[in-house]
Structure 1
Amino acid sequence: MKRNQTITLRDNRIIGYSIYGDENGIPLFLFHGTPGSRIWFLENDELAFKLGICLIAIDRPGYGLSDEKKEREIIDFVEDLKEFSKKLNINHFTILGVSGGAAYAAACAYALPNRVKAVAMVSSATPFSNGIPPRNMTFKNRIVFLLSKYFPLFLHYLNYLEKRILDKNPNKYKRLLQKNIVHLSDWDKEMLTDKHVVETNIVHIKEAYRRGVKEVVYETQLLTKPWGFDFKKIKVPIDLYHGEDDTLSPISEVRKMVSEFSFCKPYFIPKAGHFLMENKNVWEKVLKNLKIHYEN
């Protein structure tokens, strides 16, 4: 495991990343959610190592160790990944994008059909109609998107308070995380009773805020806007995994999105919520399917 790695791009921006699993294995890029960071595991991932998969988790601009890229759009991350993968001497790869990160995974599939072998979109965000989050999204999450669109300074303040608690009193953050879960599915509530899941989440999110909260607010705004590419023109295989009880990204909106893809195989998981990667069975299925895509 290599946790705090960096690469400098042509424009002198730094991109941070971590490596898990088999360092000499099949390359699989991990795109974190919004917010998120390259810290996906506190220890090495034994399953990835066993399957011969090299997990490369990247900090997007403004998160963790990565420098900000001003006025970026979702599709702009393609150029970062092209240069990043070239510097690692990786020509072909698969991508796993979680939640907000799934938008970037789809963008790379669209723009790099000759290099991306397959993409897994997990608990994916969905494009909004007219920039407004769907009414069947849980109220708390809906408010966050609306604040990012109409009152970004207030959302900046709320995220700053969250960062402050994380920095000064992680135990208080843990208590708040496990207390304020009424809006989540039973699946997600159960996940947040797992000590290891909570400890990993705290380190993951604390690292996301390393450079402040500006990028969290900006990227939340980005997800309310058009993503900048046509799903129907994606020729790369897309595996989509989504919990049917996901309250943060409603399954009804995901089904609409799936219908727009030309090559998408959906896996809708009964009674599952948003936190799918924390489930060992789902994690194993995602990795094994991506390995099959890469080798075919």
Structure 2
Amino acid sequence: MIKEITVVLCLGLAVWAYQAAHPPPPKLCGAPGGPPVTAPRIKLRDGRHLSYKENGFPREKAKAKIILVHGFACTKHDIMSLTDLVPHVVEELGLYFVSFDRPGYGESDPDPKRTPKSIALDIEELADHLELGSKFYVMGFSMGGQVVWGCLKYIPHRLAGATLIAPVVNYWWPGFPANLSTEAYYRQIPQEQWMLSVAHHAPWLTYWWNTQKLFPASAVIARKPEIFSRQDLELASMAAEKSEDRPPATPQGEFESLHRDYNVGFGKWEFDPMELENPFPNNEGSIHLWQGDEDAVVPVSLQRYIAQGIPWINYHELPGAGHLSLVIPQNFEQIVKAPFPGKE
């Protein structure tokens, strides 16, 4: 009898562990019971759909075409709203913008096989579908800025220029000196240190870690005030008011959006950004990296190391700025103008 009870308990524990570590299926947009499709979408090479939004100068008349990549817990609407801060620049430079929901966010289908390479290829497909031409610009913020590294690796031949705005760094990129990355890692609050380690060392536990009640989960998902600078806290409250009427970022569920971001962003990469080759050896384009020196989300020490090790990066450090400094109109104006000589 005791043997039978033990077997039943073990089976029950195994079932519980499996269910705890495996998220429910996402609620696909347009599927029965799922969120509605309200924006244009393209069908990608593997059958997934990518939702996008256009703004700025008419596409066929634009002098430059820029693909915007949104950050963590955001959508195409959030990053596209920044273009409304600089209408005079859009008009002066003839800029066309298109933003898209990254896989699993907003109205874009999840990609269970998402990697830095796959998202770069998604961007290339979007550009081809919209007939943006052989060359286009990419501009990404935070986790979207990290996506730009993948573009520089996998589709450099398609880029007219690239801008990384406070791009998330992976503490396990091999190009970092161990002492520097370790010091930066331990500057994060303990709650976030645990989340980062789970995403890197045990990604299969990311869903469980963010849904269990024994330990505090992701501080970034919970938007803990401790992870932001004083400027960020002020800007975040302002941004929240402006975004009240925008569609939610995770209507399909948090695993294929937020949790997948952690697993991809802090997992084991196939390449080291610090070993990339200059995509513009003849100065036919430029790469810009913007970072606030008081950013509490992305360590400025690691960003400086990247900039020092990659001589073809144009590094811009904003004094007194935090992670959200791009929402300040004069900052975003500088960022948008930087790839265009003589317009800064």
Q: So what's the TM-score if we normalise by structure 2? A: 0.70
Q: Check conservation: 1:6, 1:17, Cα contact below 8 A.
A: yes
Q: Check conservation: 1:5, 1:17, Cα contact below 8 A.
A: yes
Note the 1:52-131 alignment, pairs <5 A: 52-91=94-133, 92-129=135-172
Candidates 187, 190, 200, aligned match of 1:136: 187
Instruction: Give the drift of 1:16.
Output: 0.6
Structure 2 partner of 1:222? 264
Q: Check conservation: 1:103, 1:227, Cα contact below 8 A.
A: no
Candidates 173, 196, 206, aligned match of 1:152: 206
Q: Compare CA radii of gyration and give the structure with the larger one.
A: 2
Provide Cα deviations, 1:219-247, integer angstroms capped at 9, x if missing partner: 21111124333433242432010010001
Distance 1:201 1:244 in 2: 26
| Identity among equivalent pairs (%) | 20
Q: Check conservation: 1:15, 1:58, Cα contact below 8 A.
A: yes
Letter in 2 for 1:86: D
Candidates 200, 216, 233, aligned match of 1:189: 233
> Aligned pair 1:36/2:80, yes or no?
no
Quick check: 220-229 or 29-38, which moved more? 220-229
Candidates 50, 70, 95, aligned match of 1:15: 50
Provide Cα deviations, 1:243-286, integer angstroms capped at 9, x if missing partner: 10001111011112223324101111111000022111110011
Instruction: Give the drift of 1:202.
Output: 5.1
Q: Secondary structure at the match of 2:156?
A: coil
Distance 1:274 1:44 in 2: 18
Please, which runs of 5 or more residues in structure 2 have no aligned partner? 1-37, 175-181, 213-220, 281-285
Distance 1:271 1:208 in 2: 29
Letter in 2 for 1:152: T
Distance 1:103 1:59 in 2: 15
Instruction: Give the drift of 1:44.
Output: 6.6
Structure 1 pair 83/46, CA: closer, same or farther in 2 (3 Å)?
A: same
Return structure 1 stretches of 4+ with deviation > 6 angstroms. Answer: 130-133
Structure 1 partner of 2:279? 235
Q: Check conservation: 2:199, 2:267, Cα contact below 8 A.
A: no
Provide Cα deviations, 1:17-56, integer angstroms capped at 9, x if missing partner: 1112223322111111123211125597262532421111
Structure 1 pair 140/257, CA: closer, same or farther in 2 (3 Å)?
A: farther
Provide Cα deviations, 1:139-197, integer angstroms capped at 9, x if missing partner: 45434323434441334427xxxxxxxxxxxxxx9xx96xx424321211221342xx1
Quick check: 47-56 or 75-84, which moved more? 47-56
Q: Check conservation: 2:121, 2:155, Cα contact below 8 A.
A: no
Distance 2:95 2:269 in 1: 29
Distance 1:189 1:285 in 2: 22
Q: Check conservation: 1:37, 1:63, Cα contact below 8 A.
A: yes
Q: Check conservation: 1:140, 1:183, Cα contact below 8 A.
A: no
Distance 2:68 2:50 in 1: 14
> Aligned pair 1:256/2:305, yes or no?
yes
Instruction: Give the drift of 1:80.
Output: 1.4
Candidates 186, 198, 209, aligned match of 2:250: 209
Instruction: Give the drift of 1:64.
Output: 1.1
Letter in 2 for 1:11: D
Quick check: 34-43 or 103-112, which moved more? 34-43
